Structure 1
Amino acid sequence: MAAIAWLVIPVVSAGAAAIWAGWATRNKSTGDSAELQGYERFREAMERTHSGSHSRSGAA
């Protein structure tokens, strides 16, 4: 019985490695449009917050 356990361990490990390799190399190209739109909104928000800050910088 112990010999079977020693044979099962590498087989299960190889199966897990094959599953992980398949998952790691999957096609992840969903497009960058959502990320680019979020970046554009971030830039616009940063420009709006910095546009009024110049008038208060010398008031101290």
Structure 2
Amino acid sequence: MAALAWLLIPLVAAIGAGLWGSWANRNRKVRSDGPELVGYARFREAMERPRSGG
């Protein structure tokens, strides 16, 4: 009976790894990069402006 338990441990681990892998690889809703690109453009414009004297 103890040998059977030792054989079931890797089997349960393999099943758990398969379930986790399928969950991690699921299709996620694709989101738009619009707001991030707008923010990056504003950042670039701010970096290209000359510094005000100080």
Pick the TM interval, shorter chain.
0.5 to 0.7
Q: Give the whole-Å Cα distance in 1 for the aligned partners of 2:31 and 2:38.
A: 12
Structure-1 residue corresponding to 2:9 = 9
Q: Which has the larger radius of gyration?
A: 1
Any idea what the Cα deviations from partners look like across 1:24-53, whole Å, max 9, x if unmatched? 32002x2231x3311221221330342133
1:40 maps to amino acid = V
Q: How far did 1:6 drift?
A: 1.4
Q: Distance in 2 between matches of 1:14 and 1:31?
A: 30
2:30 and 2:42 map into 1 onto residues whose CA distance is 22
Aligned partner of residue 6 in structure 1, secondary structure: helix
Give the distance between the partners of 2:50 and 2:19, measured in 1 at CA.
54
Superposition RMSD in Å:
2.2
Identity of aligned residues (%): 36
- The alignment covers a number of residue pairs equal to 53
Select 2:36's aligned residue among 12, 15, 38.
38
